[in-house]
């Protein structure tokens, strides 16, 4: 693995227009995939896709944020910024997975939840909060992988899991470095400086006990060898699902709670 890159350099790799998206990975990782649409309340959000598939023979539920690579794709997936109905679709699929005892695999790849009138009117905050709470007690294994960028509560809504993996160059943050610089220093142009202090790389996530695994990318980034990175992801998932499925569900829920319970630094 390449350990010498700065957060800023990794961000450039993540934002490379050829970086694979979940749509590239699904056919290479899963044996079959049936997409499922809608939240049953309002509509179908293009920023989050979901479905049922098979991973090395085992049925799984897949929930993923989708990035586009051209203007038409981005129009459809809203630049991977979900609306509340996207999160509610995710929750519906997770509950369905619980009913049929299927593990849930979430692919996170979003700059953040959509900020707009429609999102506020339909309860963006409530939708994210509900997912976070429900995933915490979901009685089936949940594995999440950050493919590119994971921004704010919009990412966490698919990030409450038993095992979080980061692709080697992926980043996870409270908000974008640009937003961070804008809020704290009133100067969005200081985004590179912000990225250097925010602690947002995969290694930072391991150190802060937010993530458990780093999945190695091909030299220079995932876009340089799609087959290789897909193989690495599949290998990780197959191994982790067989391990996690051996665990008692009550034990699993206890350790899921404890993982998040322990995060925080304070004195008394």
Partner 1 sequence: MLEDLFKVVKKRFNDDDNKAETEKPKFKCPRCQHMITEEHYNELLKVCPDCNYHGRMTARERIAITADKDSFIEFDKDMKSCNPINYPEYEEKQQELREKTGLSDAVVTGQAKIKGSDVIIAVMDSRYMMASMGSVVGEKITRAFETAVEKKLPVVIFTASGGARMQEGIVSLMQMAKTSGAVARHNQAGLLYITVMTDPTTGGVTASFASLGDIIIAEPKVLIGFAGRRVIEGTIKQRLPDDFQLAEFLEEKGFVDMIVERRKMRSTLSHLLKLHGYVPEQEEA
How far is Cα 205 from Cα 171, in angstroms, rounded to an integer?
A: 9
Q: Residue ranges of the alpha helices (H) in 21-149?
A: 22-29, 71-77, 84-99, 117-121, 124-136
48, 63 contact by CB (below 8 A): yes
**Does the protein bind partner 1 through residue 142 (CB under 8 A)?**
no
According to CB under 8 A, which residues from 29 to 88 bind partner 1?
none
How far is Cα 171 from Cα 123, in angstroms, rounded to an integer?
A: 27
The one-character DSSP state at 196 is H
According to CB under 8 A, which residues from 166 to 205 bind partner 1?
172-175, 180, 183-184, 197-200, 204-205
**Does the protein bind partner 1 through residue 208 (CB under 8 A)?**
yes
**Does the protein bind partner 1 through residue 95 (CB under 8 A)?**
no
Q: Which stretch binds partner 1 (CB under 8 A): 42-50, 69-77, 126-134, 218-226?
A: 126-134
**Does the protein bind partner 1 through residue 133 (CB under 8 A)?**
yes
Which residue in the set 6, 12, 137, 242 belongs to the binding site for partner 1 (CB under 8 A)? Answer: 137
How far is Cα 193 from Cα 185, in angstroms, rounded to an integer?
A: 11
Q: Which two tokens stand for residue 63?
A: 């929930």
Applying CB under 8 A, the residues found at the interface with partner 1 are 113, 115-117, 119-126, 128-130, 132-134, 136-137, 152-153, 156-157, 159-160, 172-175, 180, 183-184, 197-200, 204-205, 208, 210, 257, 260-261, 263-268
């Amino acid at each position: 693995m390449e350990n010498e890159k700065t957060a800023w350099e990794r961000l450039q790799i993540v934002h490379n227009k050829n970086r694979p998206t979940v749509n590239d990975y699904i056919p290479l990782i899963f044996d079959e995939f049936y997409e499922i649409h809608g939240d049953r309340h309002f509509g179908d959000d293009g920023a989050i896709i979901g479905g049922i598939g098979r991973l090395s023979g085992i049925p799984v539920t897949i929930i993923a944020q989708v990035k586009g690579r051209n203007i038409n794709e981005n129009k459809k997936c809203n630049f991977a910024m979900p609306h509340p109905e996207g999160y509610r679709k995710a929750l519906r699929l997770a509950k369905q997975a619980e009913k049929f005892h299927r593990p849930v695999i979430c692919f996170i790849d979003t700059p953040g939840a959509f900020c707009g009138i429609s999102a506020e009117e339909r309860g963006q905050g409530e939708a994210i909060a509900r997912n976070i709470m429900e995933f915490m007690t979901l009685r089936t294994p949940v594995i999440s992988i950050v493919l590119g960028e994971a921004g704010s509560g919009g990412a966490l809504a698919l990030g409450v899991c038993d095992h979080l993996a980061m692709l080697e160059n992926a980043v996870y943050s409270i908000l974008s470095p640009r937003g961070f610089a804008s809020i704290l220093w009133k100067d969005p142009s200081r985004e590179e400086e912000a990225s250097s202090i925010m602690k947002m790389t995969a290694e930072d996530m391991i150190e802060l006990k937010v993530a458990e695994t780093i999945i190695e990318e091909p030299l220079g980034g995932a876009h340089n060898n799609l087959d290789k990175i897909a193989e690495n992801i599949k290998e990780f998932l197959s191994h982790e699902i067989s391990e996690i499925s051996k665990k008692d569900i009550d034990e699993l829920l206890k350790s899921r709670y404890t993982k998040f319970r322990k995060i925080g630094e304070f004195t008394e």
